[in-house]
Amino acid sequence: MTNSLDSKKYRLERGAGVLLPISSIPSPYGIGTFGKESYKFVDFLEGIGCRYWQVLPLGPTSYGDSPYQSFSAFAGNPYFVDFDILVEEGLLEQKEIDAYDWQVSEDTVDYGLIYNSRFKVLKCAYKRSNHKNKQEYIDFCKENEYWLEDYSFYMAVKSHFNNVEWLLWDEDIKNRSPQAMDSYRSNLEDDIDFWKFTQFKFAKQWIKLKAYANSKGIQIIGDIPLYVAMDSSDVWVHHEMFELDEEKNPINVAGVPPDCFSEYGQRWGNPLYRWDVMEKDGFSWWRQRMKASAQLYDIIRIDHFIGIVNYYSIPVSCPTAVEGCWMEGPGRKLTDVIKDAIGDAKIIAEDLGNLTDNVIALKEETGFPGMKILQFGLDGNVDNPNLMHNYSTTNMVAYTGTHDNETLVGFVGNMKKEDMKFLYKYFDTESDSKLFEAIIRALYTSIADVILIQMQDLLYLDNKARMNYPSTIGNNWKWRLLKEQYKMIDKEALKELAYLYGRMS
């Protein structure tokens, strides 16, 4: 049964919000940053009566540019450090920024351009900075000592080896021999300091932006993946906590089995945790991770929460997910640690997928709100649990769709005509032009404590603006908002919906 105290503590205030990653924020430098346009987006949220802003994971991205495959479960993405703020601080000159091309198109992130230029500019700022002796920087390093030195050392060594994955480094440093560690740390001292500097600036700019949002009555929902990337400082440093062989290659990897959406399932490739090893030290790595996340976000959405209860294990030799099997996770042993670590922060449990009885039981025991995806309910089945009239609890977060889904316009546009008849009846409209407005309005009326709408859905954009096609690489995480697109949104109408259905303060 649900603990009444937990239920009340983790309950989210009734409200509406928008899902928009930092990378999609407008900026002249190819990707969204923590600069003035992010503050303008906060003002936009306030103007439409929103209480929530959900961002995707903020970690540094690796091959494929996915925020769910990061070089660290703790570090922030240096791409988001705003250049204009560094100019104001006297750490950069505009000509140093303008020496590079940052974008081919304002509505698309070109990660190749950014990768080849951004760190050169940040190093200009680093060389001009006198941060090392400032108390603010010293305090930052001390507060983040659990991960900061390891991550910065890892990135410096990675750069030394032309950015290949750590499994391809020389054997001595790959295996972290004491002699090699001392030698590389001494030879790469300046590079290590540079990576610390980027994290210092990331944290300083983000915390200021978050404080601004909070001052406007807007809470930040941060998304964290359950698993970490194989090519990460976490696995390199804490290899004993993962299912690796003697050569430190993964034995089994994460994913999900075949279903109606994917014939072969999804093989994510992340190394699996050795939960028994983690339990022996009280899940200290998880405790530190959740503590750090609670400093960055007001609410933490744990992606693939199901994996805490039941996780899918795929032999590394299998190129798809068809040969995997379900294993038992730590369950409440871990969620108790999570609750203890996050203080006043709250949790959203992403409980989509194989929702077994034991997953439902744990979610109810913790009091964490789960999720519903409206798109999943538009199949013409009136008993579909993702339709608003079937919502069984208010303690939930309802989405039009997430970063992994089609846009609402794209989804409806791909439906068969006979299936569209159900939509017109359910949302009480016969007009194509009014259908999406009616769908969003219906979500506002629902009993769900929180509703979240992709920015693309507020703009009625098609699948050209889709954020991610799961299990694919090369054309994801690129969509960006244009400044002029704010004009396409009826702000007063959205504010009226928030007022009418009790979703604004």
Positions marked catalytic: 303, 350, 404
Summarize the chain as % helix, strand, coil (round to 5).
Answer: 45, 15, 40
Show Cβ contacts of residue 28 under 8 Å, excluding neighbours closer than 6 positions.
102, 103
Show Cβ contacts of residue 475 under 8 Å, excluding neighbours closer than 6 positions.
469
- Tell me the β-bridge partners of 256: 266
Name the amino acid, one letter, at 15.
Answer: G
Specify whether the CB–CB gap between 23 and 68 falls below 8 A. no
In a 3-state reduction of DSSP, which class is residue 404?
coil
Query: How far is residue 452's CA from residue 33's CA, in Å, rounded to a whole number?
Result: 22
Per DSSP, 68 falls in state T
Burial of 8 (0-12, 13-18, 19+ CB in 10 A): exposed
Strands across the sheet containing 370-373 = 346-349, 299-302, 219-224, 52-55, 15-19, 450-454, 396-399, 370-373
Query: How far is residue 304's CA from residue 324's CA, in Å, rounded to a whole number?
Result: 17
Specify whether the CB–CB gap between 256 and 353 falls below 8 A. yes
Output the six-digit token pair for 308: 């805490």
Cβ-defined contacts of 125-134 (< 8 Å, 24+): 125/86, 125/91, 125/92, 125/197, 125/201, 126/193, 126/194, 126/197, 126/198, 128/90, 128/91, 128/92, 129/91, 129/197, 131/197, 131/200, 132/193
* Cβ-based neighbour number of residue 499 at 10 Å: 11
The radius of gyration of the chain from alpha carbons, rounded to an integer in Å, stands at 23
